[in-house]
C-alpha cells in the first residue's frame, strides 16, 4: 500500500512538473509575441532602434520563432548591419524553410552587398512557393538583381512577369525603366516611368528618374520640369537636393 502511494505521489509530482513547465513555456511565448508585435509597430514607424530592442527582448524569452528571427533580420538590415541580418534570416528559414517573405528580404540584403547570385537564388527560392501571396515583389527584386549583374534581358523579363502578376505596380515600372536606361533606351524608360507616375502620382523617385531619362534624350525643359516635381514632392530631402543640382547643371549654373 505504501509503495502504491509513493508511486502515485511520484507520478503526480512528474505530471505537475510537466504542467508547470508547459505553462511557463506558454507564458514566455506570449510575452515574446507581445514584444515582437510591439517591435513590428516600431519598425513600421521607422524606429529601428526601438524595434531591435523589443525583438532582442523577445528572443531572450523564446528564440524559436521564425517570424521573430525574420523581424530581427529586417531590423539589422535597417541599421545596415547586413551580416547580422543574413544570420537571422537564415535562422528564420531553419525554422520555416518555405518562408518566402524571409527569403525575399534576405535576397534584398544580398543585393545591398552586391552578391547578385545569392540574391537571385533567394528570390527564386521565394518564388518556388506556390502559396507565396506577393510574388510580384520578389519578381521585381529579381529584376533589380539581374540588372545588377548587367543581365538586362532577364531583368526585363522579371519585371514583365511582376507586372503580369500585378499590372498596377509602380515599383516594377520604375525598375523596368532603370533597366532600359542602363541599356541606353531612354524612350522606353520615359514610357515606363510615365506608367509608374500614373499609378503613383507622388512617386518622387520616379520623377527623378524621369528627369534623368529626359536628360539622356536632351529634352532639357521636360527634364527640368520632372526635377522640379521632385523638389515639390520631396522637399528638404537629399533627393530634392540632388534634383536641384541636376536643374543647376541643365541651366548651366
pLDDT 10s digit of each residue in the chain, 253 long? 555 555 554 554 545 454 555 567 777 888 888 889 999 899 999 999 999 999 899 889 888 999 999 999 999 999 999 999 999 999 999 999 999 999 999 999 999 999 999 999 999 999 999 999 999 999 999 999 999 999 999 999 999 999 999 999 999 999 999 999 999 999 999 999 999 999 999 999 999 999 999 999 999 999 999 999 999 999 999 999 999 999 999 998 6
- For helices 135-148 and 116-128, angle between their N-to-C axes, nearest 10 degrees: 160
- Cβ burial of 98 (10 Å; 0-12, 13-18, 19+) is middle
CA-wise closest residue to 56 among 72, 77, 45, 70: 72
The Cα 94–Cα 90 span in angstroms is 6
- Looking at residue 176, what is its pLDDT? 98
Identify the helix (H) or strand (E) that includes residue 88.
Answer: helix 82-95
- Looking at residue 12, what is its pLDDT? 46
At 130 the three-state DSSP class reads: coil
The Cα 245–Cα 250 span in angstroms is 9
The gap between the terminal CA atoms of the chain, to the nearest Å, is 103
- Looking at residue 10, what is its pLDDT? 58
CA distances from 201 to 79, 106, 123, 186, 195 (A): 29, 30, 28, 20, 10
- Looking at residue 29, what is its pLDDT? 84
- Nine-digit cell at 105? 528580404
- For helices 100-112 and 116-128, angle between their N-to-C axes, nearest 10 degrees: 170
Which domains can be identified in the chain, with CATH numbers? 19-114 (1.25.40.10)
Q: Where are the beta strands (DSSP E) in 78-190?
A: none
For 83, phi and psi rounded to 5 degrees? -65, -40
- Looking at residue 25, what is its pLDDT? 75
Q: How far is Cα of residue 212 from the mean position of the Cα atoms in its chain?
A: 25
Dihedral angle at the C-alpha atoms of 39, 43, 45, 48, nearest 10 degrees?
100
CA-wise closest residue to 142 among 189, 183, 168, 104: 104
Dihedral (CA of 109, 112, 115, 119) sign: positive
- Model pTM score: 0.85
The Cα 39–Cα 20 span in angstroms is 28
Q: How far is Cα of residue 191 from the mean position of the Cα atoms in its chain?
A: 26
Dihedral (CA of 34, 37, 39, 42) sign: negative
Amino acid at each position: 500500500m505504501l509503495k502504491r502511494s509513493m508511486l502515485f505521489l511520484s507520478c503526480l509530482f512528474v505530471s505537475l512538473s510537466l504542467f508547470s513547465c508547459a505553462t511557463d513555456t506558454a507564458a514566455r511565448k506570449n510575452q515574446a509575441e507581445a514584444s515582437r508585435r510591439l517591435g513590428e509597430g516600431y519598425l513600421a514607424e521607422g524606429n529601428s532602434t526601438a524595434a531591435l530592442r523589443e525583438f532582442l527582448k523577445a528572443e531572450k524569452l523564446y528564440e524559436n520563432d521564425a517570424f521573430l528571427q525574420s523581424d530581427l533580420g529586417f531590423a539589422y538590415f535597417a541599421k545596415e548591419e547586413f551580416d547580422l541580418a543574413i544570420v537571422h534570416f537564415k535562422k528564420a528559414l531553419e525554422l520555416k524553410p518555405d518562408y518566402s517573405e524571409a527569403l525575399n528580404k534576405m535576397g534584398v540584403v544580398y543585393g545591398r552587398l552586391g552578391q547578385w547570385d545569392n540574391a537571385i537564388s533567394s528570390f527564386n527560392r521565394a518564388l518556388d512557393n506556390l502559396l507565396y501571396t506577393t510574388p510580384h515583389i520578389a519578381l521585381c527584386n529579381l529584376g533589380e538583381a539581374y540588372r545588377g549583374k548587367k543581365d538586362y534581358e532577364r531583368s526585363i523579363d522579371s519585371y514583365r512577369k511582376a507586372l503580369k502578376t500585378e499590372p498596377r505596380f509602380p515599383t516594377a515600372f520604375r525598375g523596368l525603366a532603370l533597366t532600359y536606361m542602363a541599356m541606353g533606351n531612354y524612350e522606353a524608360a520615359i514610357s515606363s516611368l510615365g506608367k509608374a507616375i500614373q499609378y503613383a502620382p507622388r512617386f518622387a523617385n520616379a520623377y527623378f528618374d524621369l528627369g534623368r531619362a529626359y536628360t539622356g534624350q536632351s529634352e532639357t525643359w521636360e527634364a527640368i520640369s520632372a526635377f522640379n516635381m521632385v523638389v515639390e514632392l520631396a522637399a528638404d530631402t537629399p533627393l530634392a537636393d540632388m534634383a536641384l543640382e541636376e536643374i543647376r547643371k541643365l541651366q548651366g549654373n
